Amino acid sequence: MTSVNVPPPVAHPGGMILFVCTGNVCRSPYLELVLRNHLAQRHITSIAVRSAGTEALLHQPVAPPMAAILEQAGITTDTFRSRQLERQMVRSADLILTAERSHRSVVARLHPPALSRIFTLRQAARLLQFAPLDAPFVPEENAVSRLARLIASGRGLNQPSAGDGDDVMDPWQQSASTYRAVEGMLKEPLAVLANALAAQRTAPSFVAGD
């Protein structure tokens, strides 16, 4: 049986980013849909963006308060349906970004070889401040896998963890103001990520996709 919300297999020469939260109805859908919008505005079509939940509320739409926030920004949520995180998703992703540190541990247990490319979103944005974005490319490296490598390199130049500061709280079944607060915690680091991806335009993988 084909899973809901699984796009048909297509080539993504720029690589794949996977966002992970708990239910895949609040935080990770926001990240997926907003990053797709950022990339579309920059005419970047070579990068795939997906999301999933460690304890997903299967085949559900975006939570109404988060859907309202997205729709106010002009981003439609009509076709989104939540998915459960699976090992194959982790194996296929070139960069995995989670809402909380606890999610990072779950992802790593599913596929330990992926550990070096798993970060919380806020951790990744913080480490990117120290990453050498003009570093040379490695042969066969796509834009997203290169970015994952650069984020990892920042661990040696900055504090690898900011503790609770690397987590974004779960707004599920909370007030509209809580959802707005969560958006505020996601928006800035996501913009940092989008800008860093746009800076990868010299990657050979971008030539094929744009």
| pLDDT tens per residue, range 145-161 | 999 999 998 876 655 56
Q: For residue 155, tell me if it sits in a domain.
A: yes
Look at 202 and 134; give whichever has higher pLDDT: 134
Is residue 210 a part of any domain in this protein?
no
Structural domain span for residue 176: 15-205
pLDDT in tens, 61-75: 999 999 999 999 999
Cα-based distances in Å from 99 to 138, 168, 198:
29, 5, 22
CA 163 to chain centre: 19
Residue 9 lies in a domain: no
Number of domains in the chain: 1
Asked whether residue 68 is assigned to any structural domain, the reply reads yes
Indicate which residues carry an active-site annotation: 21, 27
10: in domain = no
Domain CATH for 113 = 3.40.50.2300
Q: What is the mean pLDDT of residues 171-200?
A: 95
Q: What is the pTM of this model?
A: 0.90
Residues 8, 10: Cα–Cα separation, whole Å: 6
pLDDT band, very low/low/confident/very high, at 3 (cuts 50, 70, 90): very low
Would 97 be classed as within a structural domain?
yes
What is the pLDDT confidence band of residue 209, given thresholds at 50, 70 and 90? very low
